[in-house]
Structure 1
Amino acid sequence: MSLDVASVRFGYRRTPVLEGVDLRVAEGGFCALLGPNGSGKSTLTKIIARVLTPAAGSVSFHGRDLLAAPRREHARVVAYVPQSGPAPFEQTVREAVLLGRTPHIGLRPTRRDRDIVAAAIDRLGLGALGDRPMSQLSGGQAQRVLIARALAQEPRVLLLDEPTSALDLRYQIETLQIVRSVTREEGVTALIAIHDLNHAAHFCDQAVLLDGGRVVADGPPAEAFDAAVLSRVYGLDVRVTRGEQGVEVRPSALEAA
């Protein structure tokens, strides 16, 4: 059982962004999408989330075509955490997280729905902010609300588009720990677009490196992180070291400083 992306192509008018992307993430796996700006990381997450429609290719989970499934069914399987932005309208944190229950709610939220929302809010350390309007939150707090909303959705596939970009170091680590625990304890498959190679190496089971809209490396971080490939993709000389604590990537310029 897995999340399978096959031969996905996408472009904006005449500008290709993804050119035949293939990847497979095992059920319960935590996969990092890596690559420089413009490599297609965010675009791929948006295609799986059905924010964008590919020109060709397929996305399936447990053999079911996610791109052809009814929207409500898709939303019961896939939750998407976009990059943080301003709240589109006035709502409290609790109301925003409750939106994650929309695919499951009948005429009105049940006690179980509200309990799930409360648990997601607490899990992200937002308990004291439940009644605060979204417009009064910092960028980092708003991003944690989006993650709580996705967890309240009880997905089988969790997509995160640079979720730590607005967070300070403490909340970056805590967020990645939460996602890892969700994959390991609940069997959720997670795909995260992220820039920090070392965070990906520490928290993720799988690393997929994109360059020019193509997959150029795929596997456990200790295998996928090759100094020559990373140096070419990022245009920067890097060193990769492997030890008992895992793999670490460092720009050579830092070692010479």
Structure 2
Amino acid sequence: MSLDIASVRFAYRRNQVLAGVDLRVDEGGFCALLGPNGSGKSTLVKIIARVLQPAGGGVSFGGRDLLAAPRREHARVVAYVPQSGATPFEQTVREAVLLGRTPHIGLRPTRRDWAKVDAAIDRLGLTGLADRPLSQLSGGQAQRVLIARALAQEPRVLLLDEPTSALDLRYQIETLRIVRSVTREEGVTALIAIHDLNHAAHFCDQAVLLDGGVVVADGPPAEAFDADVLSRVYGLDIRVSQGETGVEVRPAALERPLLSGAAEERA
């Protein structure tokens, strides 16, 4: 099965953000959505999550129309991690993660539901915070709670909207490793809106670059990251190199040696 996005269009009033996006992510694939601010990364994720309604086009998974499916059915397939989320402060971490089981729960949570909750909490390194109120968490900890909630949902499609923006470097890496392991071990299809090109190159199987409301590059990072295309899209001279650990992207300005104050004045 695959996640298929066909001719999706969207506009905020007169500002067209998506002008016909076509994209396929294979089952178990980890796909990075990239592009400058305003390119439509978050908008596309929100459309698949049904937070926003597109002006046209369709989204399906395994041939199932995700935009027309009943909400509960959609929630059994798709889990969404927003950039941030307001949750009742009186909730504990464990109670908040239990919300991810809502599409599966009958009259009351079962032992299996609580087991899934505890497994997700442990996977995100939140076990020591499980009984702590959300009001006592840092922004980064709260973001990990949202990711744990999504994993507890047992989705087939995992959508993440810049999930590492509030995390320090350690948890950025750990979170991306967790998502990659979920895709590979459980066959979950993941789509992540992210700014860091090097993180995308290292962790993701597929890189999709948006510009002007359309896809301008799509493929494995080693193929999708073309220096000329990236430079044009980001308005910056960008270099792409192939190292021992994979593709590396650097602004050309960072390759120049730093000048001393006097030398800088002479330059």
* TM-score of Structure 1 vs Structure 2, range by shorter chain: over 0.9
Partner of 1:114 in structure 2? 114
Q: Is the 8 A contact 2:96 2:145 kept in 1?
A: yes
Q: Secondary structure at the match of 1:106?
A: coil
- Deviations 1:99-119, CA, capped at 9 Å, x for gaps: 000000000000000000000
How many corresponding residue pairs?
Answer: 257
Q: Distance in 2 between matches of 1:43 and 1:131?
A: 34
Within 2, Cα distance between the matches of 1:50 and 1:165? 22
Identity of aligned residues (%): 88
CA shift, 1:86, in A, is 4.2
2:109 partner amino acid? P
Q: What's the C-alpha RMSD, in Å, of the aligned pairs?
A: 0.8
Q: How does 1:166-245 map to 2 (within 5 A)?
A: 166-245=166-245
CA distance in structure 2 between the aligned counterparts of 1:138 and 1:227, rounded to whole angstroms: 37
CA contact (8 A) 2:239 2:252 kept: yes
CA distance in 1, matches of 2:203, 2:88: 32
Moved over 2 A (4+): 85-90
Q: Does 1:48 align with 2:44?
A: no
| Consecutive unaligned residues in structure 2, runs of 5 or more | 258-267
Separation of aligned partners in 1, 2:117 and 2:40: 32
* Matched-pair contact (CA < 8 Å) for 2:198–2:248: yes
- CA deviation after TM superposition for structure 1 residue 89, in Å: 4.2
Shift of 1:244: 3.2
Whether the 8 Å CA contact 2:89–2:133 is kept in 1: the answer is no
Structure index of larger Rg = 2
8 Å CA contact 2:79, 2:150 repeated in 1: yes
Residue equivalent to 1:251:
251
8 Å CA contact 1:120, 1:151 repeated in 2:
yes
Shift of residue 90 of structure 1?
2.4
Partner SS state of residue 184, structure 2: helix
Partner of 2:12: 12
1:74 is aligned to: 74
Name the aligned partner's letter for residue 147 of structure 1. Answer: I
Q: Which amino acid aligns with 2:66?
A: L
Tell me whether 1:134 sits opposite 2:139 in the alignment.
Answer: no
| Rounded Cα–Cα distance in structure 2 between residues aligned with 1:90 and 1:155 | 26
